[in-house]
Chains A and B, each alone.
Chain A
Amino acid sequence: MLSAAPRPRTLFEKIWERHLVREEAGAPSLLYIDLHLVHEVTSPQAFEGLRRRGLRVRRPERTLATVDHSIPTSGSGLEEADPLAAEQIRTLGRNVREFAIPFHGLGDQARGIVHVIGPELGRTHPGMTIVCGDSHTSTHGAFGALAFGIGTTEVEHVLATQCVLQRKPKTFEVRIDGSLSRGVSAKDIILALLAKVGVAGGTGHVFEYRGGAIRGLSMEERMTICNMSIEGGARAGMIAPDDVTFEYLAGRPSAPGGAAFDRAVERWRRLPSDEGAAYDASVTLDATTLEPMITYGTNPGMGIPVTAPVPDPAALVDEDTRRASARALEYMGLAPGRPLLGHPVDVVFIGSCTNSRLSDLRLAASLMKHRTVAPGVRALVVPGSQQVKRAAEEEGLDAVFRSAGAEWRESGCSMCIAMNGDRLGEGQYAVSTSNRNFEGRQGPGGRTFLASPLTAAAAAVTGVITDVRTILNGR
């Protein structure tokens, strides 16, 4: 008799099925959460809800809190914080004490942007379900985890029950083959993908990034890509774990140690999508043809190769898109058909959960070494965590940035979300390594060009939007 072969499953399906506490027709599934990350902005109302109901945190050991969004990066205290932000930060401190949650607060050497420290501390493992009241939780998918952002009501649900109600998303294969040219990086891959699928292309889906170009990336580069999955509307982004993943995790403080690590790797090796597993949607991208990318508009899907002219809204067929594009150009103060190359910039921001890790800072520093920030340009380098900061300082990267004339800060979200006082003035132009170029995102009236750390560093030293390859080739 023939025995039916098990149906090939995707990475997503394997993790989803393993974490189902309960399934019921017509209702969302109850999904168990392995790791819950908490920060100051989206948690106070959730803790308040627990208190009102007299509930405890079900699994404090599966919870990790830090402060990142609204903290000052100019010093390590609260002296320069906005009074409301300071109160919000203190509120988290009180909440984690009351509910006995592990916490990396302001004075803690392990603090940093929540999506930087989770992996850095080895808390993020392949096969896990991870949530946080933050849409860039998708970052952790780089490890082959199912990681997604949730609202504050769900933060309360997870604190109380370690579970969330979720409708099963669909799967979306993003195949990226080929290899990157010099001057082109992970950020350019994701900006090119977003330009292709748009900001709603992934709605209701989980991206799984596959293909040779992805396999060739480091963990930090993979995190950059998964980080921006939400900008394509996707619920999460994932990359199957491999030796690169295991090597990154080995020896991290919260990774399994010794024989337990070997057993974990054995489990993790079964996670990648099975041969022949089916996806609900699929798209391909050739990394070989990619150029450095930059956004020209007011959402992350409005990206073009840095050498391309600003697209003309009049050439767009769809009326809504044409209107949105015209509005974006008006906000950005850009003329259609004109090149972005040579456009002056006021500020360069290197940081955020997208691009603030050591390898990002190394890239930026490699370009800024023996060069100076152009007159009139303010360059801000904000490491993703205190650990990244220390590592960068040990290598002398801070000295490179400082002697170039850039500001070297304490870690935090900083000018990506502009909640802490680091922000653009009205009408200012920034080249930013962050993830969102929405109107006012980096400060009311501020105008953002999203780009890679290399492209941002090139703009810092030239004062204008620059094709970094011209600098690299000129050496």
Chain B
Amino acid sequence: MAAPFKTLQSRAVHLPMNDVDTDQIIPARFLTGTGRTGLGAHLFADLRFDQAGSPRKGFPLNAPGIEGAQILLAGKNFGCGSSREHAAWALVDFGFRAVIAPSFADIFRGNALKNGLLPIQLDSDETATIAEAVKADPSILISISLEDQQLEWADTAVMFSIEPFARQCLLHGVDELGYILRFQREIETFERRHKAEVPS
């Protein structure tokens, strides 16, 4: 269960790449742990660091002044590939609370929402406009209000859409398992019927 998400104001880091897969977000060799924490150190490991472990110049997360940025501005189909929830855990552990992109892969979007990481889908023109603003002034602050479903920077504001259930869960830090457990009776009723229909 993640803490409630209501508003966020932060600088953004722009990662201008489409189809960033979860193997890039957190390479498989870091998946041998049994916990959810500590993965931020390996976020984008092979893009951030060379084989000797030195930061790669030019990778946006290595740019000076990005410390404390909580918003990642990404490309189309962010989070495609493997279902590893470690990708969302790594982003959160690194300090990100929101990812803005023109589109997300299905499993990643679900994993992000379950970890208090807000995936904001905007159209390509809008993300490009934000990217321009961040490029012009990397210290520009972007404000997100989940209540109002609004994103603001400088003198510009755009609305974003989000599925009502996901919004409620984030706003109130709803525990999804707790929510499902409320329907135990329905599950039992279903199981009895299902067992009769499909005995094997």
Contacts and interface: CB of A to CB of B under 8 A. Distances in A.
Interface of A: 18-19, 21-22, 26-28, 30, 32, 34, 41-42, 44-45, 48-49, 53, 58, 69-70, 82, 84-85, 87-88, 91, 125, 127, 133-135, 149-154, 156-157, 160-163, 165, 167, 169, 199-200, 203-204, 230-231, 233, 235, 256, 260, 263-264, 267, 299, 320-321, 323-324, 327, 417-419, 426, 436, 438-441, 444-445
B198 A267 contact: yes
Contacts of B63: none
A134 B165 CA distance: 25
A320 B103 CA distance: 14
A260 B28 contact: no
B81 A135 contact: yes
Contacts of B18: 320-321, 324
Contacts of B150: none
B198 A32 contact: no
B19 A199 contact: yes
A157 B51 contact: no
Given A165-B180, A324-B19, 8 more contacts: A21-B187, A26-B164, A127-B198, A135-B81, A203-B103, A417-B28, A436-B81, A444-B29
B103 A149 contact: no
Given A30-B186, A260-B200, A438-B21, A418 B51 contact: no
Contacts of B24: 438-440
Contact of A440 (B19, B46, B194): B46
A85 B33 CA distance: 7
Interface string B149-185: 0000000000000011100000000001101110110
Given A45-B34, A200-B77, A149 B107 contact: yes
23 contacts: A21-B190, A26-B164, A28-B165, A32-B187, A34-B198, A45-B36, A48-B34, A58-B187, A88-B32, A133-B85, A134-B83, A151-B107, A151-B110, A161-B177, A161-B184, A163-B183, A324-B17, A417-B28, A418-B29, A440-B27, A440-B46, A444-B27, A444-B51
A163 B187 contact: yes
B180 A88 contact: no
B35 interface: yes
B107 to A, nearest CB: 6
B183 A30 contact: yes
Nearest to A301: B19
Nearest to A27: B165
Nearest to B35: A45
Contacts of A87: 32, 34
B105 interface: yes
A197 B181 CA distance: 39
A199 B80 contact: yes
B167 to A, nearest CB: 10
B114 interface: yes
B77 A84 contact: no
Given A21-B186, A418-B28, A438 B81 contact: yes
A256 B200 CA distance: 6
Q: Interface size class for chain B? A: 35 or more
A204 B106 contact: yes
Closest 7 CB pairs of A and B: A44-B34, A151-B85, A149-B83, A151-B111, A84-B32, A200-B77, A256-B200
B85 A167 contact: no
A338 B103 CA distance: 33
B67 to A, nearest CB: 26
Contacts of A58: 187
Contacts of A161: 177, 180-181, 184, 187
A241 B46 CA distance: 42
Contact of A160 (B35, B77, B107, B177): B177
B51 A438 contact: no
A162 B51 CA distance: 43
Contacts of A260: 199-200
Nearest to B102: A320
A163 B194 CA distance: 13
Nearest to B111: A151
B97 interface: no
B83 A85 contact: no
A81 to B, nearest CB: 9
Contact of A153 (B28, B176, B187): B176
B139 interface: no
Nearest to A257: B200
A321 B16 CA distance: 12
A419 B180 contact: no
Contacts of B14: none
Interface string B106-134: 11001100110000000000000000000
A137 B27 CA distance: 20
Contacts of A27: 164-165
B149 to A, nearest CB: 14
A430 to B, nearest CB: 15
Contacts of B187: 21, 30, 32, 58, 161-163
Given A45-B36, A135-B83, A157-B176, A419 B28 contact: yes
B133 to A, nearest CB: 19
A85 B107 contact: no
Contacts of A165: 165, 176, 179-180
Contact of B88 (A32, A151, A418, A445): A151
A158 B61 CA distance: 36
A162 B191 CA distance: 10
Contact of B83 (A150, A200, A233, A323): A150
Contacts of A28: 163, 165
A210 B179 CA distance: 38
Nearest to A435: B81
Contact of B106 (A44, A235, A323): A235
Contacts of A152: 85
A440 B23 contact: yes
Contacts of B41: none
